[in-house]
Amino acid sequence: MLKLIHADLYRSFHRPYLFALTGFFSILAILFNLMFSVDTPIEKSLQFSLNYMKFLPLFAVMIVDIVMTEENKFSTLKNTISFGLGRNRVYVGKLITSVILSVFCAVIAFLFYMGSAFWRMDAGKELTPTFMEEYLLRILVMFLLFTAALFVAMLFAAVFQKKGVYVFAFIGFLLILPLVFSGLGLRIDAFRFLYMVTIFGQAEGLYSINAAQLYEPVLIAVLHMVICDIIGTSIFRRQEIN
Amino acid sequence: MDTLPEQILKTRNLTKRYGHFTAVNDLSFSLQKGDIYGLIGKNGAGKTTLLKMVSGLTAPASGEMELFGQTSESGLNRVRSRTGCMIESPSFFPYLSAAENLEYYRIQRGIQGKKRIQEILRLVGLSNTGKKKFKSFSTGMKQRLGLAFALMEKPDFLILDEPTNGLDPMGIAEFRDIICKLNREYNTTILISSHILGELSQIATVYGFINQGNLVEQVSASELAKKCRRRLAIKVNDIVKAADILKGELSCTYEITEDSRIFVEKYVDAPEVLNETLVKNGVQVFELTTAGLRLEQYFIDLVGGNQNA
């Protein structure tokens, strides 16, 4: 599996798309800090950023596009499968590659974000080690939710081989469905519960819950990963490769 | 070093269905070590589906397959590393060059040494493509890269689906040379489907004719040559006298058909000698033609008319 991951990383780093994506997030991170006036304490920007990070899992679709969807588009998967590499290994290998690329992208964008925040703004009284610890913990949980979104994207990439359908299905599942649940949840409690078991629902709540409640998004993320991996591998194993 | 089993591939009642459509039906065939197996069939006959099942890209609905003596899923996957495949059109990443595409698969397969890539690119005539991206390749170049990919790990068994599509005559000749060299020097077994039957007839040692998912006939090259043999068809005024001359003066064996034609295999490349001898001995020759089937005609006769081979 290491060879598979190594090969996919080789290919991804020969793709300008990955660097464009990283650059896009880095610019977005800098622009976010430019929204605040110079006398705003850094912790305000950091707190505020958590609220916007709920949309980050939507970008998982772009990472999986680099790793998996374009294999469908260019029909290159047949070269890998015909060599006799186990399909489970291929599927899991692509998931791990997606996570590695996400870490690469996220770390660079986060460095730009923190760098521009500290360069432009001053630390306030609330910027204590405890505050930073809680903030970084939430960032880690957000990354876990992002990873869960990667698993969902991989599942959809395996099911829907046409890129347009894949993106539409992913956005529908990750954003539209939770919004529908949220709307219906105003009248029916069961939908409120359904909203809270979605990745978007948990990502949105990350801003307001306390540290002791962080196990909830972790649990939901792990649940999504396990379910999507089981369904995804079983579909991929039976699939005809074109 | 392991000794290869004599039988490389054997299928038993292999069937593949897509809904109500049966693409491959109860197909049983086998390949021996060193065979160059030419798979012949019109469009939609089931050739590609069969090759996809052999290479693990799709699972059969029923039937069994034995590859290098392995029949289990894990066993088949293990021995597939000894095969090189080019199924349908060659597919690679358009934003990578030929060398980068092969490097990707070299890393993935754990093949030691980067120089193998240059060796193989030189072999297929792509060593001077430099940084040119796959998306800018001509169809012939893409085919060559597909072949390079299939040969990358010196396979024991090559599976090639329409490999000469898009190649110019020189490319086809080079391709034929590579295939024959691999077969001759390394005893590589080759399963090859092609529409260019004349091309197949120059390299195949065994033929499989497939029609509507069924293997209609499997025949060796020598048997097929016998069936398609070229002969001279002669129509004369005196069959008995002509037969005597053929047997005596020309030392020929002959065959006389019901429509009073004499068929002779000897002198097929020198019909003027035969004509001159008959005329000199007072036999009037009304007709002297070369008869015999080409592979295309044999195939068309076998699967019926209106074919698109």
**Each residue of B179-210: pLDDT tens digit?**
888 888 888 899 999 877 777 878 888 988 88
Mean predicted confidence (pLDDT) in B133-137: 91
Question: For residue B231, what pLDDT is reported?
Answer: 80
- Residue B55 contacts A, CB cutoff 8 Å: yes
Q: Tell me if residue B72 falls in helix, strand or coil.
A: coil
Which of A18, A83, A236 should one mutate to test binding to chain B, selecting the residue with the greatest count of B CBs within 10 A? A83
Show residues of chain B in contact with A80, CB under 8 Å.
Answer: 105, 108
Please state whether A46 falls in left (phi above 0), alpha (psi between -120 and 50) or beta. Answer: alpha
Contact A101, A67 (CB under 8 A): yes
Mean predicted confidence (pLDDT) in B7-17: 91
Q: What is the DSSP letter of B45?
A: S
Residue of A10, A15, A242 lying closest to B107 (CB–CB): A10
Output Rg (C-alpha) for chain A, integer angstroms: 19
Chain B nearest-CA distance from A208, in A, is 44
Residues B51 and B162 in one domain: yes
Q: Which residues contact A164 (CB under 8 A, 6 or more apart)?
A: none
B99 inside domain:
yes
Indicate if the pLDDT at residue B227 is higher than 80: no
Residue with tokens 């505020």: A48
Summary mean pLDDT of chain B: 85
Question: For residue B3, what pLDDT is reported?
Answer: 54
Indicate if the pLDDT at residue B51 is higher than 80: yes
Residue of A3, A84, A240 lying closest to B80 (CB–CB): A84
Residues B204 and B264 in one domain: no
Residues B18 and B155 in one domain: yes
- What's the token pair of residue B161? 């689906």
Confidence band, pLDDT 50/70/90 cuts, at residue A143: very high
Show residues of chain A in contact with B157, CB under 8 Å.
Answer: none
- What's the token pair of residue B12? 């038993």
Residues B185 and B276 in one domain: no
Question: For residue B305, what pLDDT is reported?
Answer: 56
B103 inside domain:
yes
Confidence band, pLDDT 50/70/90 cuts, at residue A241: confident
Residues B45 and B155 in one domain: yes
What Å distances lie between residue B35 and A192, B13, B174, B186, CA to CA?
A: 66, 21, 20, 12
Convert the pLDDT of each residue in A42-53 to its tens digit: 777 887 888 888
Segment among A177-181, B27-31, B124-128, B288-292 with least mean pLDDT: B288-292
Residue contact B104–A86, C-beta within 8 A: no
Residue contact B104–A81, C-beta within 8 A: no
- Residue B265 contacts A, CB cutoff 8 Å: no
| Residue B132's CATH number | 3.40.50.300
Residues B92 and B237 in one domain: no
What Å distances lie between residue A9 and A232, B110, B238, CA to CA?
A: 21, 14, 81
Show residues of chain A in contact with B74, CB under 8 Å.
Answer: 86
Residue of A7, A70, A241 lying closest to B104 (CB–CB): A7
Convert the pLDDT of each residue in A152-166 to its tens digit: 999 999 888 888 898
pTM: 0.82
DSSP output for B167-194? --HHHHHHHHHHHHHHHHHH--EEEEE-
- ipTM entry: 0.87
Residue contact A7–B105, C-beta within 8 A: yes
Residues B210 and B246 in one domain: no
Residues B197 and B235 in one domain: no
Burial class (CB in 10 A: 0-12, 13-18, 19+), B95: middle
Would strands B254-256 and B262-264 be described as parallel, antiparallel, or unpaired?
antiparallel
Question: For residue A103, what pLDDT is reported?
Answer: 93
Q: CA B14 to CA B11: how far, in whole Å?
A: 6
Question: For residue B306, what pLDDT is reported?
Answer: 46
Quick count: other Cβ atoms within 10 Å of Cβ A183? 11
Residue contact B77–A240, C-beta within 8 A: no
Residues B88 and B198 in one domain: yes
Q: Which domain holds residue B88?
A: 7-226
Confidence band, pLDDT 50/70/90 cuts, at residue B309: very low
Question: For residue B293, what pLDDT is reported?
Answer: 66
Mean predicted confidence (pLDDT) in A197-210: 86
Indicate if the pLDDT at residue A5 is higher than 90: yes
Question: For residue B96, what pLDDT is reported?
Answer: 92
Alpha-carbon torsion, ordered A110, A115, A121, A126, to 10 deg: 60
Residue of B78, B105, B110 lying closest to A84 (CB–CB): B78
B306 inside domain:
no
Q: Tell me if residue A191 falls in helix, strand or coil.
A: helix
Indicate if the pLDDT at residue A97 is higher than 90: yes
Convert the pLDDT of each residue in A127-136 to its tens digit: 778 888 888 8
Residues B152 and B235 in one domain: no
Indicate if the pLDDT at residue B71 is higher than 50: yes
Burial class (CB in 10 A: 0-12, 13-18, 19+), B228: middle
The residue from B211, B226, B241 where one domain ends is B226
B309 inside domain:
no
Residue with tokens 């949105």: A204
What Å distances lie between residue B214 and A40, A206, B24, B47, B218, CA to CA?
A: 77, 61, 6, 10, 11
Q: Which residues contact A194 (CB under 8 A, 6 or more apart)?
A: A181, A185
Mean predicted confidence (pLDDT) in A91-103: 94
> What total of structural domains would you count in chain B?
2
Higher pLDDT, A8 or B114: A8
B29 inside domain:
yes
Question: For residue A219, what pLDDT is reported?
Answer: 93
Confidence band, pLDDT 50/70/90 cuts, at residue A235: very high
| Residue B266's CATH number | 3.30.70
Confidence band, pLDDT 50/70/90 cuts, at residue B307: very low
List the domain boundaries for chain A: 2-238
Q: Which residue is closest to B92 within chain A, CA to CA?
A: A76
Question: For residue B308, what pLDDT is reported?
Answer: 42
Higher pLDDT, B170 or B104: B104
**Among B47, B86, B48, B67, CA closest to B215:** B47
Chain B nearest-CA distance from A239, in A, is 7
Residues B252 and B162 in one domain: no
Confidence band, pLDDT 50/70/90 cuts, at residue B98: very high
Summary mean pLDDT of chain A: 88
Question: For residue B265, what pLDDT is reported?
Answer: 79
B1 inside domain:
no
Please report, as a single letter, which amino acid is at residue B55. Answer: S
Residue of B83, B93, B159 lying closest to A74 (CB–CB): B93
Residue contact B109–A83, C-beta within 8 A: yes
Residues B171 and B281 in one domain: no
What percent of chain A stands above pLDDT 70? 99
